[in-house]
Amino acid sequence: MSRPTIAGVARAAGVSVASVSRVLNGLPATEEMVERVQRAVQELGYVPDARARSLKVGRTFQLTLAVADVGNPVYVTMMRAVEEIVSAAGYRLVVTTTGPDVVDEVALVRGMARGYADGLLISPIRVDEDLVKSIRECEVPVVVAGNVPAKAGVDTVRANSPKGMLLAVDHLVAQGRTRIAFLNGPADTVPGAARSKGFTEALKAHDLEPAALAEATDFTFAAGRATAPELLGGGFDAVICANDLLAVGLMHELAAAGLEVPKDVAVVGMDDSELAEQCFPTLTSVNLGSAERGRRAAELLLARIEDNERTPRRIVVQPSLSIRRSTP
């Protein structure tokens, strides 16, 4: 037995399909009509087909959130914030994962033309010409949580990494740490590049030289551990890491090397994700506003779906510092 269609309901209720559709959509109808239709719907367990509906009305009432790595806790924060906004607006949120490769991101953006959803919220980790082009030409509204060139002509909401870096360095310097090292993620990524630049500027503002630099191959715990040894022996008393996963990976290697956090080495992460308070010692971390970025991005997406002619906005969310036990 196949699922009942609107025609089946109409037959069972002894009315026309048009009337069933009207009742289901709350359009004017007599009380008796409403009652008859609702009973038939109930009896048959009828549920409207979303594909057919969206084919007709041109909207799916679904939104897609695309992230690079579901294992990165910063996305958890963001997803929760986005979910809250879009579900309150009556949309269903579906999450897909792209992986670290830009071609997969491009494929995903292009694929939106298939009509999966009414909008896309993407947080790209690598950005190239192709991606910018695909976003600009995307058939559905796109909002980028991250940094793409203004010429992309798209709503963006991004973090202020340099400012965040400055908060971290300010804090470390105030605690008397001046030999500061930096554990970055891949420099060919958008966040990687931004944080590298921010770190350099922040040190310059304090007239400091980097004590050591290293670049992990990914923004992951495993990469943090694997890359940490490059830093060791660098004569630093503090390390800033490009995200929390890297920081936690580093802390394990520091412990293995017999260094104590924060006594011997202070550690600062970035993202202020759930992991920052789960790890031990708890991690001082730059809050780059992932929850707020999620909220704002979701709001921009909803607004653009409402009116696609509005001029693109570029929102920057300001950072703050969450001080915990990994810094003195």
Q: Tell me how far apart the alpha carbons of residues 195 and 185 are, in angstroms, rounded to a whole number.
A: 9
Q: Tell me how far apart the alpha carbons of residues 26 and 177 are, in angstroms, rounded to a whole number.
A: 66
Among positions 138-197, residues that touch a second copy (CB under 8 A) are 139
Beta-carbon-side half-sphere exposure of residue 34 (alpha carbons within 13 Å): 7
Residue 71 engages a second copy in binding (rule: CB under 8 A) = yes
Residue 314 engages a second copy in binding (rule: CB under 8 A) = no
Q: Phi and psi (nearest 5°) for 106?
A: -60, -45
Q: Which residues bind DNA (CB under 7 A)?
A: 2-3, 5-7, 15-19, 21-22, 24-25, 28-30, 32-33, 46-49, 52-53, 55-57
Q: Which residues contact 27 (CB under 8 A, 6 or more apart)?
A: none
Nearer to a second copy, 140 or 202 (CB): 140
Nearer to DNA, 35 or 260 (CB): 35
Among positions 204-243, residues that touch a second copy (CB under 8 A) are 221
Nearer to a second copy, 217 or 318 (CB): 217
- Packing angle of the helix pair 221-231, 244-256 (nearest 10 deg): 50
**Judged by CB under 8 A, which of 252, 253, 303, 305 binds a second copy?**
252
**Judged by CB under 8 A, which of 7, 18, 55, 174 binds a second copy?**
55
Please, what is the minimum distance in Å from the beta carbon of residue 138 to DNA?
Answer: 16
Interacting span for a second copy (CB under 8 A) from 22-30, 68-76, 176-184, 199-207: 68-76
**Are 243 and 271 in contact, with CB atoms under 8 Å apart?**
yes
CA distances (Å), 183 to each of 77, 137, 146, 195, 231, in order? 23, 36, 20, 10, 8
17 binds, among a second copy, DNA, none (CB under 5 to 8 A by kind): DNA
| Closest residue by Cα to residue 218 from 318, 298, 125, 289 | 125
Residue 112 is classified by DSSP as G
Tell me how far the alpha carbon of residue 203 is from its chain's centroid: 28
227 binds, among DNA, a second copy, none (CB under 5 to 8 A by kind): none
**Judged by CB under 8 A, which of 22, 80, 179, 314 binds a second copy?**
80
Nearer to DNA, 55 or 70 (CB): 55
Length of the chain: 328
Nearer to DNA, 24 or 315 (CB): 24
Nearer to DNA, 17 or 316 (CB): 17
Residue 113 engages a second copy in binding (rule: CB under 8 A) = yes
80 binds, among DNA, a second copy, none (CB under 5 to 8 A by kind): a second copy
Q: Which residues contact 101 (CB under 8 A, 6 or more apart)?
A: 126
Q: Which residues contact 11 (CB under 8 A, 6 or more apart)?
A: none
- Packing angle of the helix pair 6-13, 31-44 (nearest 10 deg): 120
Among positions 93-112, residues that touch a second copy (CB under 8 A) are 93-97, 110-111
Residue numbers at the binding site for a second copy (CB under 8 A) = 3, 45, 47-52, 54-55, 60, 62, 64, 70-71, 73, 76, 79-80, 83, 92-97, 110-111, 113-116, 137, 139, 221, 245, 248-249, 251-252, 255, 274-275, 277-280, 282
